[in-house]
Amino acid sequence: MRLKNSADLIVRIARYNLKIIFANRFIYFLLASFLFFLLVAAIIFFNSDSDPDPGTIYNLLLFPGILLIFYPSVFGIQNDVDSRMIEILFGIPDYRYKVWGVRMILTWVIVFFILICLTILSSIALVSVPVVDMVYQLMFPIFFLGCISFMFSTLVKNGNGTAVIMIVIGMTFWIAAEPLSNSKWNLFLNPFSDYENESVFAGIILKNRIYLSVGSALSLLYGLLNLQKRERFI
């Protein structure tokens, strides 16, 4: 009986937070990600000169993943402030950490399964790829950008302002991707790209993923610590 009640409580919490995540403009980002994927996939499919490989699929899926993580992490704090939910979250000790922890986990789970679906479609329509490994690798830069967005949203406390900052950061990383190329510091490093020395490239990928994981964890923790400053949000 206790297990049933706990499961029912978890389902209710998940359902409530999903309503928050999917509210307002998130559905537009979801549609935009699908439209972008379908458009680029169609261009590749109908282009007789194209020769897609797993590296192509990685680049194809990266942008939709970033779009999916963008709204919940950038506009979440502002939505709580606008709906007065932030006052309730600060009214119960440590409750805001649990709420935001659940929301972040649910968002990443949603993004993960949507990317699974898109990767399966890519594997069927374009070229066969290792689905789980592909999505696993995609989640590193997506997770990093989501945590960075959340951190800046707790500093700026305005969704539009945070969006501008994240667009600038994203464009900076995108411009630096070419000079950095196969560097461990490249946020958009493609682990499925061709490299002459595979053992060296494997080491670069490993270091890149470690740096992204550490940066994500530090950004997330710093964002949660910023939520201690009640007077900045209310």
Count of Cβ atoms closer than 10 Å to residue 75 Cβ = 23
pLDDT digits (tens, 9 = 90+) for 166-205: 888 888 888 887 787 778 888 888 888 877 777 888 888 9
Residue 207 banded pLDDT, cuts 50, 70, 90: very high
Task: Write the DSSP string, 155-197.
Answer: HH--HHHHHHHHHHHHHHHHHHHHHHTT-TT-TT--TTS--S-
**Confidence (pLDDT) at 40:** 84
pLDDT digits (tens, 9 = 90+) for 134-152: 999 999 999 999 899 988 8
**Confidence (pLDDT) at 218:** 93
The Cα–Cα gap between 27 and 98 comes to: 24
Average pLDDT over residues 37-66: 83
Residue 77 banded pLDDT, cuts 50, 70, 90: confident
**Confidence (pLDDT) at 217:** 92
Residue 13 banded pLDDT, cuts 50, 70, 90: low
Average pLDDT over residues 69-93: 69
* DSSP three-state, residue 47: coil
For residues 135 and 162, is the Cβ–Cβ distance under 8 A? Answer: no
Residue 41 banded pLDDT, cuts 50, 70, 90: confident
For residues 87 and 234, is the Cβ–Cβ distance under 8 A? Answer: yes
Residue 22 banded pLDDT, cuts 50, 70, 90: low
> What value does the mean pLDDT of the chain take?
80
Average pLDDT over residues 38-47: 82
Of 34-48, 93-107, 209-223, which gets the smallest average pLDDT? 93-107
Q: What is the DSSP letter of 48?
A: T
Q: What phi, psi does 31 have (nearest 5°)? A: -65, -40
Q: Is the pLDDT of residue 79 over 70?
A: no
The Cα–Cα gap between 166 and 73 comes to: 11
C-alpha pair distances (Å), 148 with each of 51, 203, 212, 221, 222? 35, 25, 11, 10, 10
Structure tokens at 148: 């960075």
Residue 103 banded pLDDT, cuts 50, 70, 90: confident
Structure tokens at 63: 């942008």
The Cα–Cα gap between 165 and 205 comes to: 27
Count of helices and strands (H, E) across the chain: 8, 0
* DSSP three-state, residue 51: coil
pTM over 0.95: no
Q: Is the pLDDT of residue 110 over 90?
A: no
The larger pLDDT score, comparing residue 21 to residue 113, is at 113
For residues 134 and 205, is the Cβ–Cβ distance under 8 A? Answer: no
C-alpha pair distances (Å), 78 with each of 49, 58, 75, 94, 135? 46, 32, 5, 19, 29
Q: Is the pLDDT of residue 80 over 70?
A: no
For residues 62 and 137, is the Cβ–Cβ distance under 8 A? Answer: no
Q: What is the DSSP letter of 83?
A: T
Q: Count CA atoms within 13 Å of residue 204 on its CB side.
A: 21
Q: In this prediction, what percent of the chain has a pLDDT beyond 70?
A: 77
